[in-house]
Amino acid sequence: MDNTLNGRKALVTGGASGIGAACVRALAAQGAKVVVADVDSAAAARLADEVGGTAWAVDLLDVDALATLSLDVDILVNNAGIQRISPIEDFDPADFRRIISLMLEAPFLLVRAALPHMYANQFGRIINVSSVHGIRASPFKSAYVSAKHGLEGLSKVTALEGGEHGVTSNCVNPGYVRTPLVEKQIADQAQVHGIDESEVLAKVMLTESAIKRLVEPEEVASLVAWLASDSAAMVTGASYTMDGGWSAR
Ligand SMILES: NC(=O)c1ccc[n+]([C@@H]2O[C@H](COP(=O)([O-])OP(=O)(O)OC[C@H]3O[C@@H](n4cnc5c(N)ncnc54)[C@H](O)[C@@H]3O)[C@@H](O)[C@H]2O)c1
């Protein structure tokens, strides 16, 4: 079995930072040609340059533009995401809509755009970067938890439809990962929980984990690269946790 990704073309959304950037590097290291799709065009171009891929400067909130898209990629990693922390009664409805658009509607539209090419080749890998919040809830994250639970459903339906066409669809479900998205929410978490910023890791983020450290982006990326490989051909409709034991409770 050839477990390299030579000859494969991959697209990683939110590929310019954090988990997405680690996925870009891991897939490229296995031989894939990678498209770095991100609203941060400068960072996307820099990383594409580094890995010999291409950059796609795109705002995935512009969902109307995605409805007519057609993608010729073999591996699609739906990763772009944002976070907002607020009690439901104060949650800005516009923020709720933005999160659902970026993290559920855009993945649907990208899967829709990629499947015809994948079906024609009898090969495709859809990998959705979900979260432990795809299978568990936390207070103050109504939009994020809703979007990730929805993504889990989309992933399973894609798996059922894609099976006979050589297309697999899976989620990866990390706990808290050391990325800018997590660094940015430390102040907000401190405020809504009424604690000091220095206490957020121990008192909010790592309370449920058996292993008391953040996940590293490269650890998530290695799982994504394996799901993209030939070895994972029988893995579909699954959700793979990497949460230090959080969801074992
Ligand atoms: N960091 C964590 O603890 C953690 C845990 C579980 C799941 N996740 C998920 O992993 C994914 C990546 O998160 P991260 O922590 O690496 O975040 P990050 O902030 O480091 O990177 C997100 C990337 O998405 C891009 N992006 C944001 N809005 C966009 C838009 N409208 N169009 C195109 N690109 C856009 C950003 O420019 C950025 O490059 C997200 O889906 C997140 O929900 C993160």
The answer to whether residue 239 sits within a structural domain is no
Q: Is the CB of 177 under 6 A from ligand 1?
A: yes
**d(CA 83, ligand 1 centre) in Å:** 8
**What is the number of structural domains in the chain?**
1
Instruction: State phi, psi for 12 to the nearest 5 degrees.
Output: -120, 115
What is the full per-residue pLDDT of the chain (249 aa) written as tens digits? Answer: 788 999 999 999 999 999 999 999 999 999 999 999 999 999 999 999 999 999 999 999 999 999 999 999 999 999 999 999 999 999 999 999 999 999 999 999 999 999 999 999 999 999 999 999 999 999 999 999 999 999 999 999 999 999 999 999 999 999 999 999 898 889 889 999 999 998 999 999 999 999 999 999 999 999 999 999 999 999 999 999 999 999 999
**d(CA 18, ligand 1 centre) in Å:** 7
Q: What is the pLDDT of residue 1?
A: 77
Q: Is the CB of 18 under 6 A from ligand 1?
A: yes
Nearest CA to ligand 1 atom 17: 181
Q: What is the pLDDT of residue 220?
A: 98
Q: Phi-psi category of 14—alpha, beta or left, where left has phi over 0 and alpha has psi -120 to 50?
A: left
Reported as type and span, the H/E element at residue 172 is: strand 167-174
The answer to whether residue 181 sits within a structural domain is no
Q: What is the 3-state secondary structure (H, E, C) of 71-116?
A: CCCCEEEECCCCCCCCCHHHCCHHHHHHHHHHHHHHHHHHHHHHHH
144 is a catalytic site residue = yes
CATH number at residue 13: 3.40.50.720
Nearest CA to ligand 1 atom 7: 131
| Rounded CA separation 111/45 (Å) | 23
What is the domain range of residue 58?
A: 9-176+215-233
Q: How would you list the strands of the sheet with 124-129, edge to edge?
A: 54-57, 33-38, 9-13, 75-78, 124-129, 167-174, 239-242
CB-based contact 165:122 (threshold 8 Å): yes
Q: Is the CB of 205 under 6 A from ligand 1?
A: no
| Rounded CA separation 249/247 (Å) | 5
**d(CA 176, ligand 1 centre) in Å:** 12
The answer to whether residue 201 sits within a structural domain is no
The answer to whether residue 61 sits within a structural domain is yes
* Helices within the chain (DSSP H only): 18-29, 41-51, 63-66, 93-100, 106-121, 142-162, 180-193, 200, 217-228
Which residues 6+ apart lie within 8 Å of 15 measured at CB? 21, 23, 24, 34, 35, 36, 37, 38, 44, 47, 77, 79
226's tokens: 């394996």
The answer to whether residue 142 sits within a structural domain is yes
The answer to whether residue 133 sits within a structural domain is yes
56's tokens: 């796609």
Counting from 1 in the atom list of ligand 1, the atom nearest the Cα of 174 is: 6
CB-based contact 96:143 (threshold 8 Å): yes
| Rounded CA separation 19/174 (Å) | 10
Q: What is the pLDDT of residue 244?
A: 97
**d(CA 181, ligand 1 centre) in Å:** 6
Q: Is the CB of 59 under 6 A from ligand 1?
A: yes
| Rounded CA separation 26/116 (Å) | 26
**d(CA 20, ligand 1 centre) in Å:** 7
Q: Is the CB of 124 under 6 A from ligand 1?
A: no
Q: What is the pLDDT of residue 121?
A: 98
Nearest CA to ligand 1 atom 40: 81
Counting from 1 in the atom list of ligand 1, the atom nearest the Cα of 177 is: 3
| Rounded CA separation 59/181 (Å) | 17
The answer to whether residue 249 sits within a structural domain is no
The answer to whether residue 151 sits within a structural domain is yes
Q: Is the CB of 176 under 6 A from ligand 1?
A: yes
Confidence (pTM): 0.97
DSSP 6: T
**d(CA 124, ligand 1 centre) in Å:** 23
Counting from 1 in the atom list of ligand 1, the atom nearest the Cα of 22 is: 16
